[in-house]
Structure 1
Amino acid sequence: MSYDDRVAGDGRLIILRELALQVDGRSNEAVLMRVLDTFGVTRSREWVRTQLRKLEELEAVRLTEAGSVLVAALRKAGRDHVERRAVLDGVARPSDED
C-alpha cells in the first residue's frame, strides 16, 4: 500500500469517526477539514471532497450540497465500520485502543 493510499484510508476513518460523534451524524466539509487538520492530515478541499465521494461510493455516507458546500451524513455501513461490526475496503480499521 502506498503512502497516499494509507493517508486516504486514515482520513476516511477520521471522517467516519467525526460523523459518528455528531448527534445527527452529519457534518460539512469545512468542519471535517479542520478535524482532519487536527489529526495531521492537512489536505485541500478537493482532497476532502474526493474522500467524501469515495465514502459515498462505499455507501458509508450520504452527500448533499448546501450551496457550494458538501454535507455528509453517516449511513449504516459507515457506523458499522466505526463500531467494528463490518469492514469497508479502502478505510483504515479502527484500532482496539479506541
Structure 2
Amino acid sequence: MSKPDFQRHMEEDARLVMLKELAAQTDYTLNESILHHVIEAFGHNRSRDWLRTQLRAMEELGAVRLTPAGSVLIAVISPTGIEHVLRRRVIEGIARPSAGV
C-alpha cells in the first residue's frame, strides 16, 4: 500500500469511527473534543486540526452537519450517515462498516 493509499485508508477509517460513535449517541451529537478522544482510543493520534479537516470532509460528503459553538464544532450525524453505519448505503470517502457493525 503506497503512502497516499495508506493515508486515505486512515482518513476513511477515522471517519467511520466518528460516524459510529455519533450513531451510538441518543441525540446523534458530539463535540469535536469528545470525538478527538474517540479517534485516539482507536489509534488515530492526530491533531485537532486534522480532526476538523475530517469533520468538514464528512460534512461535504453529507454524513454529518457541523455547527460552531464558541471555539469548538458540534457534529450531528445525518440520515445519510446513519444509513452508511447501518450498511444500507455507501458513502465513498468513509470506510465501510464490517458486517457485524
- TM-score of Structure 1 vs Structure 2, range by shorter chain: over 0.9
Return the match for 2:91 from 88, 92, 96.
Answer: 88
- Give, in whole Å, the separation in 2 of the partners of 1:82 and 1:13: 8
Residue identity in the other structure for 1:11: A
Q: How many residues align?
A: 98
Q: Which residue matches 1:38?
A: 41
**Helix, strand or coil for the counterpart of 2:54?**
helix
Q: CA deviation at 1:6?
A: 0.2
TM-score normalized by the length of structure 1 = 0.97
Residues 77-86 or 1-10, more deviating = 1-10
- Give, in whole Å, the separation in 2 of the partners of 1:42 and 1:30: 13
Q: CA deviation at 1:60?
A: 0.7
Unaligned runs of 5+ in 1: none
**Helix, strand or coil for the counterpart of 1:18?**
helix
Unaligned runs of 5+ in 2: none
Q: Which runs of 4+ in 1 moved over 3 A?
A: none
Q: How does 1:53-64 map to 2 (within 5 A)?
A: 53-64=56-67
Q: CA deviation at 1:79?
A: 0.2
Q: Which residue matches 1:26?
A: 29
